[in-house]
Amino acid sequence: EIVMTQSPATLSVSPGERATLSCRASQSIGSSLAWYQQKPGQPPRLVISGASTRATGVPARFSGSGSGTEFTLTITSLQSEDFAVYYCQQYNVWHTFGQGTKLEIK
Amino acid sequence: QLQLQESGPGLVKPSETLSLTCTVSGGSISSRTYYWGWIRQPPGKGLEWIGSINYSGTTSYKSSLQSRVTISVDTSKNQFSLRLTSVTAADTAVYYCARDPIGSYPDYWGQGTLVTVSS
């Protein structure tokens, strides 16, 4: 099973600043990586697929990068609605999720 | 617009079997392009893929759950179902069903249903 490891577990950032979230796969997954945003009581919402393609309706301040085993989600000019938990997920071999990064207001 | 809706008991006793059904509307579960999957999330914890099934009944399960999980499909009702046997408190979670395109990520999710394992 491919293991996905996210860091940090919690990230405290001020509104208007930049947030950088990391995700590492235990083996190469090419670009088969998605990022999801989840708010309390809601199902996950797709943010990025194919490691770098924004989902429909996702603002341009969200960007994804990486391939192979190292991936990054960057959110610039953080807005209040961006504070949530973010999960990475590999879909190269079925599905494995990272443990999540909680993005909180500093 | 595709919609998925989970249904089933919200409380299951330890050692018993958890059974949930996902009803798909706005699209056909018989499409050859998709699998249909179950994903769960224990309270305050992360997401865990349980398994997926296609229209013909071909399944794939998470290895650590494989001995306890059965996913089935009923194309006549546009539904698929999850059975998890010998449950414990560790199986308490919100259970989501999702459309699972072949070789891709789950793109449509249900709202989720909380199942609590308790006597």
**pLDDT per position as a tens digit, A30-72:** 999 999 999 999 999 999 999 999 999 999 999 999 999 999 9
Specify the pLDDT at position B78. 97
Q: Are B23 and B36 in contact (CB under 8 A)?
A: no
Query: Chain A closest CA to B39's CA: distance in Å?
Result: 10
Give residue B100's pLDDT band: very low, low, confident or very high (50, 70, 90).
very high
Mean pLDDT of B4-18: 98
A87 touches chain B (CB under 8 A): yes
Cβ contacts from A onto B, under 8 A: 43
CA angle in degrees (0–180, nearest 5) for B4-B98-B13 = 85
Determine the pLDDT at residue B7. 98
Is pLDDT of B49 > 90? yes
Position A105: which residue type?
I
Residue B111's contacts (CB-CB under 8 Å, 6 or more residues apart) are A43, B5, B6, B96
- Pairwise CA distance, residues B64 & A53, whole Å: 31
Q: Is the per-residue pLDDT at B103 higher than 90? A: no
Span B91-102, average pLDDT: 96
Find out whether the peptide bond into A8 is cis, omega within 30 degrees of 0: yes
What pLDDT, on the 0 to 100 scale, is given for residue A29? Answer: 97
| Residue labelled with tokens 């459309």 | B99
pLDDT in tens, B50-93: 999 999 999 999 999 999 999 999 999 999 999 999 999 999 99
Q: Mark yes or no for CB contact A97/B104 under 8 Å.
A: no
Chain A contact set for B105 (CB, 8 A): 34, 46, 49, 89, 91, 95
